[in-house]
A and B are shown apart, each in its own frame.
Chain A
Amino acid sequence: MLVDFELIKRAQTGDNAAFNQIVLAYRKRTLGTIARLISRPEDVEDVGQEVFMRLYFSLDQLRTAEVFEPWLYRLTVNAAYDYLRKHRRRMESRMSDLSEQQVVMADAAAGGRVDKDFRRRAQVRETVDALLSAVPEADRILLTLKEVEGLSLKELEKVYRVNENALKVRLFRARQRVLKAFANAGGEAQGKGTARAGN
């Protein structure tokens, strides 16, 4: 845990300085999670601010220290869901447009500034985003939390408040779907390439 429970208790009593410290401790990690969940870099901060605003108003419901982090993950996941739900239509209508990443890449390429590493990262992001789009939104978020964020089943159990077996089944199904999409897209070679490039 990045902060001690005393600080949380102080924030619960209305100490704004303590709340500021909690936000400062967790904002980078939370923004990273959001970035991987929503895949729209330009909106990450907006969703992050929403998460901490919700945290402020629900902090008094927290009883024990050990549930703080799963609970913050839960707020993050819910805010990401809300964002994705709200922006689904807009995102669909923008599918034909270039993504911001692609625009940046195109600009950089035009200026001869695009480096190999940047290109590889962008390619990995696009490949994984495309693969994860093969599963429903809820499963995609679950899979991202498990496989990319590295949360354990025990932690996921606290975040989702469902038993481990149900999570295992959902994760297995989601992974099978992604694997199928991976095989269909001939992703194996790509994956090996990116993994090799990553090493």
Chain B
Amino acid sequence: MQRNQRGDENASLDALLQAYRDACPAPDPSANFMPEVWRRIEERQRSIFYMARWARGFATAAAVLSLAMAAWLYIPHGRTSVFYVESYVEAISAGHSSDSPDLAEPIVDEL
């Protein structure tokens, strides 16, 4: 009984959906449809073009800036102090002169 009712409902729903399809015919496109499609395409192409140009400009500026920074870091400047010229090992050995084997005192065996 319940199954029959479900079957009826299914059939009614199918009929309703079919009627809906008939009640919603495809609308006729207006005369402005194609020109508007092309206007959108051209607008998008323009924005892609400007975006690409901006991206290229940005990449070039970033590359130039990187090169400039690299040059600034590697080219020696006039006011370079001794501190920057010394290597790490030199700086350590200068700070601990008593560690030098030349200056180490001989071990005295007091036995």
Chain A residues within 8 Å of B, Cβ to Cβ: 20, 23-24, 27-29, 31-33, 35-36, 41, 44-45, 48-50, 52-53, 56-57, 120-122, 124-125, 127-128, 131, 147-150, 175, 178-179, 182-183, 187-188, 190-192, 194-195, 197-198
Contacts and interface: CB of A to CB of B under 8 A. Distances in A.
Interface stretch (B23-31, B51-59, B68-76): B23-31
A197 B23 CA distance: 12
Contact of B12 (A31, A45, A188): A188
Contacts of B26: 28-29, 31-33, 35
Interface string B33-58: 11011001100100000000000000
Counting chain B residues whose Cβ lies within 8 A of the other chain, the interface size class is: 20 to 34
A36 B33 contact: no
A147 B15 CA distance: 10
Contacts of A192: 12, 15
Contacts of B21: 36, 148-150
A178 to B, nearest CB: 7
B44 A179 contact: no
Given A27-B29, A32-B27, A49 B36 contact: yes
Contacts of B64: none
B4 interface: no
Interface in B1-30: 6, 8-10, 12-30
B24 A48 contact: no
B11 to A, nearest CB: 9
**Interface pairs A-B: 7 shortest CB-CB:** A32-B26, A195-B15, A191-B12, A121-B23, A191-B16, A128-B20, A124-B23
Contacts of A187: 12-13, 16
Contacts of B22: 121, 198
Contacts of B33: 27, 45, 48-49
Contacts of A147: 14, 17
Nearest to B15: A195
A188 B8 CA distance: 8
Residue with the greatest number of chain A CB neighbours at <10 A, chosen from B24, B28, B34: B24
A182 B17 CA distance: 12
A195 B28 CA distance: 25
10 contacts: A52-B37, A147-B17, A148-B24, A179-B9, A179-B10, A182-B9, A187-B13, A195-B18, A195-B19, A198-B15
B56 to A, nearest CB: 20
A198 B12 contact: no
A179 B17 contact: no
A188 B44 contact: no
A28 B27 CA distance: 7
